[in-house]
Amino acid sequence: MTSSSHRESRAQRIALVALFAALMAAFGMIPKIDLPLGVPITAQTMGVMLAGCMLGASMGFQAMALFLLAVALGLPLLSGGRGGMGVFFLPSAGYLVSWPFAAIVTGLVMRALSGPAGSGPASPKRLALAALAASVVGGVLVIHVFGVVGLMLLAKLSLVQAAIGTLVFVPGDLIKCVLVAVIVHTVARGLPDWRFGGRAL
């Protein structure tokens, strides 16, 4: 790879990371639903799933880390116009902290299930199914494990109470997984060379 093509590739990666961080901010404009548990229902977890599926583990992590850094610096990018260091000490903090790691796991599962490297573009159907599975593992399981730990530490709930409390989010999160699969299927049909999960074609 020449130095110019390397710079171009790096610039593209930076642009994609920034784009998906901005996408998270856009999802934050969708009104949140507050629950007595202290953890709101938002659309932003779908952005985490999309970042992992579309960008892969490394860039997905970077996009989520960039977004959370902006939030920590005070930008009101979370749903409901929230931002600042204080959000990382609320009962929902475990869910927030999970996002970069959830993107990693989602990206790794997406890459593993989308076919071996060098085999050419996978079919849109296969990629959609891979995205569905990756979103469930990374975007639901990982996020909720972190969320339960956060509820135990910050809301002082028992393991059973936290686990039961987080179950209210699961149906909505599974719907998000299906939506991500539909989006991946659509992108795969229109852009068959897209490197889903950071996969090398």
Residue 171 tokens, joined: 């149906």
Q: Is the pLDDT of residue 87 over 60?
A: yes
Q: Which domain holds residue 181?
A: 3-198
Greatest alpha-carbon pair distance for the chain in Å reads: 56
> Distance from CA of residue 3 to its chain's centroid?
32
pLDDT at 115: 78
Q: Across-strand partners of 41?
A: 33
For the chain, the domain total comes to 1
Higher pLDDT, 35 or 201: 35
Q: Is the pLDDT of residue 107 over 60?
A: yes
Q: Is the pLDDT of residue 19 over 80?
A: yes
CATH of the domain at 122: 1.10.1760.20
Q: Tell me the chain's radius of gyration from C-alpha atoms.
A: 17
pLDDT at 187: 97
